[in-house]
Copies of this chain bind each other. A is one copy, B any other.
Amino acid sequence: MSLHSGLLTDLYELTMAAGYVQTGFEARATFELIVRNLPARRNYLVAAGLEQALEFLEGVTFGSDEIEFLKKHSAFGGVGREFFEYLAGFRFTGDVWAMPEGTVFFPGEPVLRVTAPIAEAQIVETYLLATINFQAMIASKAARVVTAAQGRPVIEFGTRRAHGMESGVLAARAAFIGGCEGTSNVEAGRRFGISTYGTQAHSWIMAHEDEEEAFRKFLEIFPDHSVLLVDTYDVRAAVEKILSLGRKPRGVRLDSGDLAADSRWVRKRLDEAGWKDVLVFASGDLDEDRIASLLEQGAEIGGFGVGTSLATSNDAPALGVIYKLVELERGGQIHSAAKFSEAKVTYPGRKQVLRCTGADGKYSEDVIALEEEKLAGAEALLVPVMRGGKRLGQAAELNVARERCLENVARLPEGVKSLTGMAGYPVRHSVRLEELMKQVRSRVERVARI
């Protein structure tokens, strides 16, 4: 299997591409990737996944066995050899603009814009959607969980509940962009340079004849990094056993029970023993709500391990991400395209997102404008990242994306950053974009009546 196989797409992308090639439909198309609506309990989203999207665009090809597979597919029975020759020479040659990873964004704003020969733009659609949808969704969830933790480190622990192993590796990446400190996923550590963390499982305790022996042996092997799991039998008894060993672990982990009460007891007991620097770490079906509630209850927890909710964004496990044709350049003519079906309106033309900042340094408003528009003092969020199928510049450091996310979130108006309120952030369309929309609407209505 090639990691950049052109078959990593929906069949209709390939049949439409065949249609364009076989009918000699020559056009340069611009598609924009946007999220239609905010999922429940989200006031903002965080861009992520661009790096994997660009890797795919740079690498995508059709191997000869992949072309053979399509030749034998009944759907391509009537398709001539021009199309298969086209696939044999296929490379993505388009231009891409995108918001850098870690940028906060809102519904209706293009996160990524592709301009390419229409068949190319179509073939890569599915990969781009799957990649950006997933990582943006996870980064957005992570930003909420990290906000709830109020500066305490959050470690992503969710691979086992992710949608397959590769999904777990990429969820770790996206959660890091969203502000997590690290992950339990070792491959994500190796591949992306994210810090990896681990403690011990109940099975380690259960495999030993007694709990004290289980702790002692672990401390012997990992004198500086042991985070000991204390809830297998009885939390208080376990903490006393560790204290009696006289050897200070890096921390202890609570994974069940009354985390607020137990953490307070454990913290107090460790402090009394002079072990103020021993971390009390908590895990067990945590999410932003439980973390916020624990801290309100005065839990004495120094760090959180968060699994399912970070790896799957379980309260909103998909974004309404779409990839819409906004412009077609054909025979020297520019045609703007838009869609008007009820509740599925998309705006035409190549766009830019201009973000304004108020006197307090907080973001005040976004304006979705035409590409060439400017607005004094506003930041243009879409930047060129690929030209003629080649990346512009190096892949950004993942740390930079994480810092960008933390800084962007910090600059949101308080109501928008809030975990419980549903304050809307102001996003408007520029006057020129609204005018173009009107023109396209009247043209489309004429066409539809014909």
Contacts and interface: CB of A to CB of B under 8 A. Distances in A.
A298 to B, nearest CB: 22
Interface stretch (A313-321, A359-367, A418-426): A313-321
Copy tally for this chain in the complex stands at: 2
B200 A233 contact: no
A83 to B, nearest CB: 9
Contacts of A157: 10
Contacts of A225: 15, 74-75, 77-78
Interface in A315-359: 317-319, 321, 324-325, 328, 337, 339, 341-342, 344
Nearest to A168: B130
A73 B196 contact: yes
B11 A184 contact: yes
A197 interface: yes
B164 A10 contact: no
A160 B206 contact: no
A145 B328 CA distance: 38
Contact of A134 (B10, B164, B170): B164
Contacts of A31: 203
Nearest to A128: B160
Interface stretch (A19-27, A94-102, A104-112, A397-405): A19-27
B161 A14 contact: no
B162 A134 contact: yes
Contacts of A69: 189-190
A159 interface: yes
Interface stretch (A214-222, A274-282, A377-385, A387-395): A214-222
Contact of A27 (B12, B77, B135, B207): B207
B165 A164 contact: no
A190 B66 contact: yes
Contacts of A18: 221-222
Nearest to A307: B318
Interface string A43-85: 0000000001000000000000010011001110111000000
A44 to B, nearest CB: 20
Given A79-B222, A130-B165, 13 more contacts: A10-B160, A10-B186, A16-B204, A19-B217, A23-B217, A66-B190, A70-B186, A74-B224, A75-B222, A78-B221, A161-B319, A166-B166, A166-B167
7 contacts: A9-B187, A14-B198, A126-B159, A130-B160, A130-B161, A130-B168, A311-B318
